[in-house]
Structure 1
Amino acid sequence: MFTYLRPFLEQVTGPDVTTLSILLLVRGCAGFVGTWAAGRFLSGSVAPLLKLPALLMGACTLGLLFLGGSVIATGLFLALWGAMNTAMSVIWMTWMSQNADDAPEAAGSLMVAAIQSSILLGAVVGGLLLDGMTIFATFIGSVVLAGLSIALIGDGRRLLKRE
């Protein structure tokens, strides 16, 4: 499931198999916590929170580029990244349910299509960057995409349903 992280962790952090397994376990457990926390503490308007996952995941990716040689720093970045990765789904689905109440099935379908398209494009672009350059290029590309999504979301107000 987390095989995309393995080349980076092996090349930069350089952990043994046990440490690599622990790092990936930390990321997975943090994902569980992120889903729980987002569901537990999300209330009211989610517009201010729409860019939070992209901001923190981009910062974690940037942090991995600079501090990825440290197993402890890598573990902390992976934990935060994992929590935000799963919290993002809860935040965006909550936003969608608040803003597409007249056509929830269509909105859900569009969300699934957007997620699948993002996975596809991420795999293609990431693969091209990895094959044509280095593993670091994929992480830089990820930071650039996080920055673009933060700019696109803005303060989130223009993404709200007009009443």
Structure 2
Amino acid sequence: MWYVLGAVAVLAVLAVVARRALVVVRVSGVSMAPTFRPGDRVLVRRTAAVRRGQVVVFESTRPTGWGTGPPAPPWAIKRVTAVPGDPVPGDVAAAAEARPGDRVPVGALVVVGDGTSSADSRVYGYLPADRVLGVVVRTLSPGRESPGPSSPDVPDGAVS
């Protein structure tokens, strides 16, 4: 009997850890097409440590700077194209107010959508790194990839 209680306790701890470490979000825009399409669900691992090439979900609204202009969803999904210390990409330099040879500053990221229609660092400049929720680890959408093990029971949040 004690082993059943032990197994239940372990499963409860794992569920709590998974809920804190993972979140499922639903893609609502086309800025990451064809990688992600509207309606796709993605599993995101909460982390502040990101690398160039990873896809991140981040808070898109800010009182100043990133996310100003027309109302935006509270979360966005983009690909990281430069991290602190990397050269500022030429197509981002004007929006980031960077000069030739400048490097991405500490605490900032350059993010760009995979699609042809994306409001990203080419429009808003640097993304403050503290706005990152986490890194996309897999697609959960039916027919795209197999979902693998069941994800934590958390409500979907829309991103674009």
Normalised TM-score (structure 2):
0.21
Structure in which a larger fraction of residues adopt helix = 1
Q: Where is the strand percentage greater, Structure 1 or Structure 2?
A: 2
> What's the TM-score once normalised by structure 1's chain length?
0.20
